Amino acid sequence: MEKAYTKTAEQVIKDLKTDLKDGLTSAQAQKRLAQYGPNVLKEEIGKNPLLILFSQFRSFLVIILIVASIISYLLGHSLDALMILAIVAINAVLGFIQEYRAEESIKHLKKLVTANVQVIRDGRLVEIPHFQLVPGDLVIVSDGQKVPADLRVTQSIYLHLNEAPLTGESIPVTKVTDSLPPNTNIADQKNMLFAGTSVSSGKGMGIVVSTAMKTEIGQIAHLVSQEVEPETPLKQKLDRLGKLLGRIVLIVASLIALEQIILGEPVIEALISSVALAVAAIPEGLPAIVTISLALGTKRLLKQRALIRNLPASETLGSTEVICVDKTGTLTEGEMSVREIYGANIQKILTVGILSSNARKNKDRIIGDATEAALIQKAIDSGLDQDQLDKKFPRVQEIPFSSDRKMMTTICKEDNQYRVTSKGATEVILDKCSHIEENGQVIPLTEEKKEQILKVNDQMAQDALRILAFAEKRIHLAGEENAVTPARWKEEEIEKDLIFLGLQGMMDPPREGVKEAIEVCQRKAGIKVIMITGDHLLTAQSIAKEIGIKGESISGQELDNLSEEEFVKKVQEINIYARVSPTHKIRIIKALKARGHQVAMTGDGVNDAPALKAADTGVAMGVTGTDVAKDASDIILLDDNFTTIVQAIKEGRTIFDNIRKFVNYLLSSNIMEIMVISLAVILGGGHLPLLPIHLLWINLVTDGLPALALGVDPPRADIMSLPPQNFRQQILGGRSLGPLTAVSVLLTIAILAIFFIYQKDPIYEQTMVFTSIVFYEMLRIIAIRSEYKLPFFSNKFLILAIAGSLALHLVILYLPFSFAGVTLQELFKVQPLNLFDWVLLLGIGIFLLFIMRILVITPVFNFLKKP
């Protein structure tokens, strides 16, 4: 039923052909179940494990590697083919394990609804499974229950709903039975109960008006299914890099094969050389190293309470320019607390707060209305004991709160008298008071005093505090011959001539450390933080001011009045959004992306799910987050804390830096290997300076271990002071492309010089070229890290990797190990080097290191770093 909130309960009953006393008949219910279907949401089908596995092979670079392994096998190089496939398999397994584990940790959508519900059918109260509910059913709800469908309220007995999962508003909503005007915002539809929300206190009854996908939650679930999850920037960058490398490899390898055939080499030998060159050109370890680097980053993030659902998401967050943050539970604690007290006798105000509340402390938590829980917690924190007060002042009667009265009164026994305590809206309480307590004295409450109190109330309201006023009086019975018993007291008699005590202002407070985290984002990291909430605009503005979010603010209704074109122009200036709906959030995300921003979105409610999926990075709350929000997210914060996002951004930036380092390292080395082989073939009459087994050893062992160690490099000191654009550039390109090319040329010249010096002895010559490449690539790592101002000993794994690579190479050259009668020297076709050879290699290496460091850190060479 559309807009049931605009109709009276009687109209809804008539339209749905039900009965307020007897409900539907079993026959009616059965017929409607067949018509409307079961009350269940259509689940988004989870990722099939096989699809997760196959997705690991979609990278263009991985496809090239598989093709290269097939060609190697067909040409008789089974070992090369096997090693390449082993690397591809390792990459796939690592990616699969991470994504499968994350997928298994997410709850399914069906857990949003309750298992059984109480309904009136055939004039009797019965309990049925939630999926059998149909429009027209009369449902009974009570404290702690989750609402199973969208209901129009027909009865409310102090009924309060927690609607934060749907609307984002932290304060429980008091439910009424009256009809409401058309176009009332969903957060203000106080005569409706929505599926997925829960009863915080009280009880009531409602008519089912929508079930399954027709409910508000169902419509949001549909929005989620319609949103296409964007491809991560890292995947886009790696795919572009893979395609570029693929084209280069095909062109260069073809030219080398053609050249050797022209020079008289047999066709098979020419093909072998071209495959060797392809192996040299393609960084076989790159996909695996990227995956391992991301996996290690996710492991570090997990220790910081962030669960990564898919590997590239951690790097994507590092290049984020805008974070749209859901206020309730992320920037704030997600629960009310007393922020300010006004009055002469604070201890008495806190005591009345306990006596006039129904919430109760139970072990480590307070059960009941969130507002009353805040009053009791403040009183307990101030040293009061609720149990002792209950014993000292036993309650004998209560005049409950209602939306019409806007106050609550309790009557407690106190020795030979009764103590009346009241709390409620300031204007209402003041109208009931005739006196005020000041400095231990009870004096008449003048109009001047009332105006003073109302001014304080207004000031607290401007600070977005929810304010309650407190008053009390005593009724003496001793000596009264015609004393009236409490059961016969009338409301108007009890709630008059009260003594005004003071005010308490409450708010859902900001989380500890949030202000500092936002400052890091905005002032240092260049990341814009936008607050989005279902709360009122005044509340949003107050919290924003307190935590340091500046800029224009706008409500959902004002947003509706802007055209798409107007909003895209204005979105840059707006930092605070209040009273927004799920569709508003998607509009915000898409408008920001239309301006070229990379956007992260945080949220915990069902209403956040579509925007979480639409954002470049969706971040869900692990504690308060709904299953739908988690399903739609890329990252889950296990502590619901915004400061964890800042740590995740830092980790993401570190991952990107490390990926760029080892891509730079691998490609500068591989380009050098291509140029060495190509030029040596041309200048040396078709003679190869390296054998295929040398290239495989360099790519798998010498390149692999140090590149992997770069994946755990610590962050540079200034990483959170750099603009996001630094982490949005291509992995290969921009500032790094010029120095990379220059270094590759420099290394090529040095190694070709060694090639020609030792050309008289082919085996010794190949040994020297092989060794110089291994040695100088280790120096290349040191030079690359100097650009990031990282001390050499800051990464012990890298030191071990470099030492390990050099040690393994020395084993090949000098140790007389043998396999099946073949020594390592014979297998690799190398000879031991003498002291003069090492002195020559070391001397050239020191010169190369000096020049390489100049190329990456000296301003004179900035022309090489321009995009």
Nearest Cα to Cα of residue 485 among 393, 413, 421, 423: 413
Q: Is 326 a catalytic residue?
A: yes
Q: Cα 670 to chain center, whole Å?
A: 37
Based on the number of CB atoms within 10 Å of its own CB, is 256 exposed (0-12), middle (13-18) or buried (19 or more)?
A: buried
Which of 326, 604, 634, 657 is flagged as catalytic? 326
Q: With H, G, I as helix, E, B as strand and everything else as coil, classify residue 37.
A: coil
Tokens encoding 55: 């997705």
For residue 432, what are the CA distances in angstroms to 213, 407, 563?
48, 10, 49
The enclosing H or E element of 337 equals strand 337-343
Q: With H, G, I as helix, E, B as strand and everything else as coil, classify residue 180.
A: coil
For residue 389, what are the CA distances in angstroms to 192, 352, 354, 386, 767?
37, 10, 8, 5, 89
Tokens encoding 128: 């049925």
- Positive or negative torsion for Cα 757, 759, 765, 770: positive
Q: Cα 585 to chain center, whole Å?
A: 15
Cα 436 from Cα 502, distance rounded (Å): 9
The enclosing H or E element of 801 equals helix 796-814
Residue 78 phi/psi, 5-degree rounding, is -65, -40
Cα 293 from Cα 656, distance rounded (Å): 9
- Positive or negative torsion for Cα 850, 851, 855, 856: negative
- Positive or negative torsion for Cα 607, 622, 548, 586: negative
Say which amino acid occupies 361. Answer: K
Question: How many CB atoms lie under 10 A from the CB of residue 685?
Answer: 9
Nearest Cα to Cα of residue 688 among 671, 698, 676: 676
Cα 509 from Cα 264, distance rounded (Å): 81
Say which amino acid occupies 818. Answer: S
Residues 6+ apart with CB under 8 A from 545: none
Tokens encoding 697: 């050893």
**Whether the Cβ atoms of residue 146 and residue 216 lie closer than 8 Å to each other:** no
Based on the number of CB atoms within 10 Å of its own CB, is 438 exposed (0-12), middle (13-18) or buried (19 or more)?
A: middle
Q: What angle do CA 679, 682, 688 make, to 5 degrees?
A: 75
Count how many Cα atoms sit within 13 Å of the Cα of residue 611 in the half-sphere of its side chain.
32
Q: Which residues share a beta bridge with 155?
A: 205
Packing angle between helix 267-281 and helix 642-683, nearest 10 degrees?
150
**Whether the Cβ atoms of residue 602 and residue 324 lie closer than 8 Å to each other:** yes
Pairing of β 574-578 and β 599-603? unpaired
Residues 6+ apart with CB under 8 A from 280: 670, 673, 674, 677, 690, 695, 698, 699
Beta-strand runs (E) in 371-406: 395-399
Tokens encoding 527: 């990341």
Cα 685 from Cα 178, distance rounded (Å): 95
**Whether the Cβ atoms of residue 598 and residue 233 lie closer than 8 Å to each other:** yes
Cα 708 from Cα 293, distance rounded (Å): 7
Return the active site residues.
Answer: 326
